[in-house]
Amino acid sequence: MKKTTLIKEGKAKRLYNTDEKDLVWVEYMDQATALNGKRKDHIAGKGELNNQIDCILFEQLVAKGIHTDFVQKLSNNEQLNRKVKIIPLEVVVRNAASGSFQRKFDVSYLQAFDQPVVEFFYKSDELDDPFINTNQAIALKIIDLEESQRLEKMALEINQILKERFAKAHLQLVDFKVEFGKTADDEIVLADEISPDSCRLVDLTTKESLDKDVFRKKTGDLVTVYQEVLNRLNNSQEEVHV
Binding site for ligand UDP (CB under 6 A): 90, 92, 98-101, 129, 175-177, 198-200, 212
Residue closer to ligand UDP, measured from CB, 28 or 176: 176
Query: Shortest distance, CB of residue 99 to ligand UDP, whole angstroms?
Result: 2
Min separation Cβ 176 and ligand UDP, Å? 5
Return the number of the residue (58 or 176) whose C-beta is nearest ligand UDP.
176
Residues near 120 by Cβ (< 8 Å), separated by ≥ 6?
89, 90, 91, 92, 131, 132, 133, 134, 137, 148, 151
The alpha carbon dihedral of 36, 37, 38, 42 has a sign of positive
Given a contact cutoff of 8 angstroms between Cβ atoms, the answer to whether 240 and 60 are in contact is yes
C-alpha angle 103-105-111 in degrees, rounded to nearest 5: 85
> 56 or 202: whose CB is closer to ligand UDP?
202
| Shortest Å distance, C-beta 229 to ligand UDP | 13
CB of 147 to ligand UDP, least distance (A): 20
Q: Report in angstroms how near the CB of residue 185 gets to ligand UDP at its nearest.
A: 28
| Residue number with CB closer to ligand UDP (63 or 163) | 163
Nearer to ligand UDP, 20 or 157 (CB): 157
Beta-strand pair 112-122/171-182: unpaired
H or E stretch covering 223: helix 222-235
Looking at beta carbons, which residue is closest to ligand UDP?
Answer: 99
Nearest one of 158, 137, 159 to 148, comparing CA atoms: 137
